[in-house]
Amino acid sequence: MSRLGPVITLAAGAVLAVGLGVASITATPAADNAAADNAAQPPSADEAAQEGTQEGTGADASAAPSPSPTRTEPKKIAKADYGGRVRGNGALIAISIRNGKAVAYFCDGRTEAWFKGNESSGELQLTGLASAKSKVTAELGGGRAKGWVTVAGKRWNFTAPTVVKPSGLYRATAIVRGAKFRAGWIMIKDANGRYYQVGAAFAGEEQFDVPQLNSEQPTAPVTVEDTTVYPKDVDGFIEEMQ
């Protein structure tokens, strides 16, 4: 029995070593298979969100272009009327604006000039109908139009407060003696509450005495050389002049 002890011990050790080797061989493919399974499965919602956050803070996110600023259209005055005296020659000027479109009339009873153009963000740039060298430039604000008017190579400044009807701008067209007739009027209320007006009338190149408008009803018909003409306020002709 004493001789068999070492033999049994060696045999047991050999069996244990073989068993451990088999276990190691069996465990290694199992671990590899588990890793492959984990790689094949998609990330969970929490993991995807975390990865998205990490990517958003990377170099690619900082390189993304920022959105372009929204372009704002210039503001336009819906409706306004101005009238006042031109400094230096005693003429009157009237300006009317409707939805950004503008017309103006300069008159001293002998010389006249019509203008058209646009208003934008409180600034006015108008060009003469008869001559592109005639201009009206003004800034609008504080209840007035303030600027410059250029007619026949001469330039004057003006300040024209806002006005309400019947003050304002009037115009009439007709056929008189076979020629195209046109007339313009500016009506202004003075400090005493009375209305005064200035205007001019032409048929072709011939100038006529301009009839006075009825201050209580400025669009009432008037007679020129036995022809009845019908004045319009600015709402009736501003579109025709654009």
* Structural domain contains residue 6: no
* Structural domain contains residue 191: yes
Distance in angstroms (rounded) separating the CA atoms of residues 186 and 167 = 7
Query: Is the Cβ–Cβ distance between 201 and 210 less than 8 Å?
Result: yes
pLDDT at 226: 86
pLDDT at 178: 85
* Structural domain contains residue 218: yes
pLDDT at 31: 39
* pLDDT tops 80 at residue 96: yes
Mean pLDDT of 106-123: 95
More confident residue, 207 or 58: 207
Question: Which domain range does residue 103 map to?
Answer: 79-241
pLDDT at 75: 81
* Structural domain contains residue 43: no
Mean pLDDT of 45-63: 46
Number of structural domains in the chain: 1
Query: Is the Cβ–Cβ distance between 140 and 122 less than 8 Å?
Result: yes
Prediction pTM value: 0.70
Q: Which residues in 165-184 are b (16+ Cβ under 10 Å) and which e?
A: ebbbbbbbebebeeeebbbb
pLDDT band with cut points at 50, 70 and 90 for residue 141: very high
Residue 188: other Cβ atoms inside 10 A: 20
* Structural domain contains residue 177: yes
pLDDT at 70: 64
H/E stretch holding 148? strand 144-151
* Structural domain contains residue 215: yes
For the ranges 32-46, 90-104, 219-233, the lowest mean pLDDT is seen at 32-46
* Structural domain contains residue 46: no
More confident residue, 164 or 30: 164
pLDDT at 145: 98
Which of 126, 132, 113, 128 shows the shortest CA–CA distance to 202? 113
* Structural domain contains residue 83: yes
